[in-house]
Structure formats: C-alpha cells, structure tokens
Amino acid sequence: METITIHIRPSYNVHIGYNILENFPQILDVVSNVKISKKALFFIITDKNVARHYLVPLKNSLRKYGYNTKHVVLRPGEKLKSPGKLFRLLQLMVKKGVNRDSVVVNLGGGVIGDLGGFAAAIYMRGCRLMQVPTTLLAQVDSSIGGKVGINLPEGKNLVGSFYNPMFVLSDLSTLSTLQEREIVSGLAEIIKSGLIFHRPLYEKIKNLFCSAASRDNIRIPAFEVKTLLLKNREFLQEAVSRSVNIKGEIIKQDERESNLRMILNFGHTFGHAVEKITRYRRFLHGEAVMLGMQMATELSMLQNMIDSQTGEEILTLLRLFQIPFAKRLSTRNIYKQIGIDKKKREGKVAYILLKEPGYAVAEKDISRKKVYTCVDRILSFYKGMQEKFSGK
Ligand SMILES: NC(=O)c1ccc[n+]([C@@H]2O[C@H](COP(=O)([O-])OP(=O)(O)OC[C@H]3O[C@@H](n4cnc5c(N)ncnc54)[C@H](O)[C@@H]3O)[C@@H](O)[C@H]2O)c1
C-alpha cells in the first residue's frame, strides 16, 4: 500500500493499494492516525452497482472495529447530481440521525463523490468527509482536490464548493468489477497526468500499451486495456499513485484554480465541448478527454510548441484506445461550444498546450484558424476510421 499526503490545510492522506477496503478502520486509525470516537456514526453513501460488491465488506470492517454504521444505496448515474436528489439525501441524513460528529463516507465513483461530498459540505454547516473511490477516474482525479457539487438543468457542476475529505482510501481491487469503458475513461486522466507533469509516467504508459498493440491491431479493445491494467498490478499502483501525487502537487500550489491548476484542463477545453455537443450521452468523460488531448496535441504542434515527431508519438498512443465518435461533431460546433465554455478567462479561451511530454503551459493568444485546423485534422482522422471500418 502507498500513502500520499495531500499538503493543503488541513492535510489528508490518500491510501492506494490492493484489498485494503477490509482494513479501512485500521488504516484510518493506525496508519493515518485519524482518531474517530467509537460513538460517531459512519454514514455510507453508495450506489447499487457498488453496494452489490463492496458495501458489506466496508460495513463489516467498521462494525468489527466497534463503529456504528448506517447507509443509503442510490440509483446509479449522473442524474443523482441534481438539486432534487441532493435535498432528498439531506432529508434522509436527518432521518438517519446523522449529526455534526458523524462521518460521511462516499463509496463509489465520481458521481457519489461529488454528490455525497457536497451533502457533507452543507449538512449542518459541514460534517466530516471520507472518500472511498471505486472507479479509476475517481481514484486518480475526482476524489482529490476537494471539488464537490451537483448539476443544474442549465449546466454541469454549476453548484458546488471546495470541501476536502479528511481521508481517502483507493482500493485498486475494486476495479475488477468496473466496466471496461470506465477503465479507459480513467486511463485518459492518467495519461493526462503524465503528459502535463511527469514524462517518465507518460513513457511507461507508452511502453506498456504500444508494445501490447500488434502492428495491424491499430486499436486495443477496452476489455484488453482492462486486462492489461489489472494484470500489471505494480504498474497500475504506480500509475494511480503518481497521478494522485501530481494532482496533489498542483493543487498544493494552486488550491482554488487560478493558474497552475489550469494545466489539469489539458484536453478538457476540447473534451467538454465534445461532451456538451453530444449531450453527455455518447462519450464518457475520459473518452471525450482522450479526443480532446489529441486536438490539444495537434494544436501544440501547430503552435510549434512541441516537435512534430514527439507530437505524432503522443497521437499514436492516444489513438490506441477505442472511443466513440458522433456524426454531430463538427469543427464549427466544437469551436462555438469552446467559446461559450465557462473556462473563458478575460474574454479569451486558455488552451493548455504541451511543450514536451511532462511540461504543459496555458496559451491564450491562439488564432481561430489554428484551432479550426487542429480540430479538423482530428475529426477527419476519426471520420476516416469510421468509413474504413464500415466498409465505405
Ligand atoms: N470533483 C471533481 O474534481 C471531478 C473530476 C472529474 C469528474 N468529476 C465528476 O465525476 C463524475 C463521473 O465519475 P465516474 O466516471 O467515476 O462515474 P460514476 O460515478 O457514474 O461511475 C460510473 C459507473 O460505474 C459504476 N461503478 C463505480 N464503481 C464500480 C465498481 N468498482 N464496480 C462496478 N461498478 C462500479 C457506477 O455505479 C456507475 O454506474 C461526473 O459527474 C463528473 O462531473 C468530478
């Protein structure tokens, strides 16, 4: 097991390892030295898919250690992040006797983490929060950094706050039951971490996946990506730990998302546009980011920031993974959507570009022509692939 301390105030530990869920209270008490009174109630928030496998082991471990537990099992999906569901959850917390001494434990992916985290942030003006992320995306990204919140009909993540957990436990064994596409989605954020901040991580990912792809097998099916990651246990542990470390380092220097934290948006400016245009239905978040990172890499080459050989190598890696495509994606609507994206700063969009693997910068002065060209190139590539495989 690896322990990473996120150095913000107050700091908290993230524990990453295999089969550690059953030892939740011991790790909390003995390893992390977080002392919780035996009178405190642990209120576990989870969803049906996760509860099926992991609720009983977590509850049993807490009970064996002498803690009281209660739980709620919600219906999975992004719809949970709504004002109606949030208020119902808060009312249920009253009914179940959750108070300011209680501990809210989010057991699940980013949806549970965001919803339960926001509930913990506002319930009785804030109660203690612990995250037990069970998707790869949540383990490497959403459980770290303290962003919690819900959606409004007007847009995603429009209501929320910064509220840090006091403890995070990422059991990599839980990934064995996760759907393959969700694994690819989380992997995109790991690749992003390497590309923006840590070249050795990027090189390791490249070696693992490029050697796994046979010459004619241009794309690695999602089930193979999952098999490969679960088989290479040390690699997975290192990749998750490194990504957490990177996010921790970045938010330590820039907790409230002003400058440095912007580089975490590599691939996201384009990716968010793709998600919005396809109404959050066609692409998982990481899949859209995988496409967005290709556009950002292409733009980095057009801006002469990164040399074309390295840029092409990055594109080759990103194209190994199977992601969806949608006919409604056009250069024009992606550009238009970026324009109305909330990441607009001082009237200009900040594009995160690569100078080299492991080194990203924010760039505001980019011509419309260049953005058009890079989006066009990537969309043409995927259109070409689609035609090839549909036999046109
Ligand atoms: N707070 C942040 O900083 C941040 C960052 C990125 C994304 N997010 C948010 O995260 C959400 C997406 O999170 P996600 O990708 O984890 O999706 P998710 O929480 O919807 O989980 C994906 C699916 O996998 C299931 N699942 C989860 N763990 C499982 C397991 N171990 N075994 C079997 N099934 C399992 C869930 O029930 C769900 O059906 C979005 O709402 C996004 O806005 C937040």
Residue pLDDT, tens place only, 307-334: 999 999 999 999 999 999 998 899 999 9
CA-CA-CA-CA dihedral for 330, 334, 336, 338, to nearest 10:
180
**Which residue is listed with tokens 């990473």?**
4
189 lines ligand 1 (CB under 6 A): no
CA 16 to chain centre: 15
Residue 71 contacts residue 55 (beta carbons within 8 Å): yes
Q: Say whether 100 sits in a helix, a strand or coil.
A: coil
1, amino acid identity: M
**Which residue is listed with tokens 């590599």?**
266
pLDDT of residue 388: 74
Residue 343 contacts residue 388 (beta carbons within 8 Å): no
Note the pLDDT tens digit of each residue in 52-70.
999 999 999 999 999 999 9
76 lines ligand 1 (CB under 6 A): yes
**Which residue is listed with tokens 């969309």?**
379
Relative orientation angle of helices 199-212 and 180-197, to the nearest 10 degrees: 140
Note the pLDDT tens digit of each residue in 85-124.
999 999 999 999 999 999 999 999 999 999 999 999 999 9
147 lines ligand 1 (CB under 6 A): yes
Q: Say whether 353 sits in a helix, a strand or coil.
A: strand
Judged against a pLDDT cut of 80, whether residue 256 lies above it is answered with no
98, amino acid identity: V
135 lines ligand 1 (CB under 6 A): yes
Number of Cβ atoms within 10 Å of the Cβ of 73 = 17
Judged against a pLDDT cut of 90, whether residue 261 lies above it is answered with no
Beta strands in the chain (DSSP E): 2-6, 12-17, 41-47, 68-74, 103-108, 128-133, 147-152, 155-162, 167-171, 344-345, 348-349, 351-356, 359-363
Q: Which token pair is 279?
A: 């109404």
The residue count for the chain: 392
Average pLDDT over residues 349-358: 95
- Looking at the chain, the whole-number percentage of residues with pLDDT higher than 90 is 85
- 166, exposed or middle or buried, with CB in 10 Å at 0-12, 13-18, 19+? middle
pLDDT of residue 150: 97
Q: To test ligand 1's pocket by mutation, which of 85, 135, 168, 176 has the most ligand atoms within 8 angstroms of CB?
A: 135
What is the whole-number distance in angstroms between the Cα of residue 135 and the centre of ligand 1? 6
Q: How far apart are CA 2 and CA 25, in angstroms?
A: 16
Nearest CA to ligand 1 atom 23: 109
Q: Which token pair is 205?
A: 């990912």
Nearest CA to ligand 1 atom 22: 109
What is the average pLDDT value for the chain, to the nearest integer? 93
Mean pLDDT is lowest, of 78-87, 288-297, 336-345, for: 336-345
Number of Cβ atoms within 10 Å of the Cβ of 250 = 21
Q: How far apart are CA 296 and CA 353, in angstroms?
A: 6
346 band by pLDDT with thresholds 50, 70 and 90: low
Judged against a pLDDT cut of 90, whether residue 214 lies above it is answered with no
Judged against a pLDDT cut of 70, whether residue 76 lies above it is answered with yes
Judged against a pLDDT cut of 70, whether residue 345 lies above it is answered with no
Note the pLDDT tens digit of each residue in 275-300.
999 999 999 999 999 999 999 999 99
Q: How far apart are CA 20 and CA 34, in angstroms?
A: 16
Q: What is the DSSP string of 11-24?
A: PEEEEEESS-GGGH
Number of Cβ atoms within 10 Å of the Cβ of 79 = 12
Judged against a pLDDT cut of 60, whether residue 342 lies above it is answered with no
- 361, exposed or middle or buried, with CB in 10 Å at 0-12, 13-18, 19+? middle
242 lines ligand 1 (CB under 6 A): no
Mean pLDDT is lowest, of 5-9, 83-87, 363-367, 386-390, for: 386-390
Judged against a pLDDT cut of 70, whether residue 359 lies above it is answered with yes
**Who's near 346: CB < 8 A, 6+ residues apart?**
364
Give the C-alpha distances (Å, rounded to integers) separating 237 from 17, 110, 229, 379.
Answer: 7, 19, 10, 34
Q: How far apart are CA 203 and CA 184, in angstroms?
A: 18
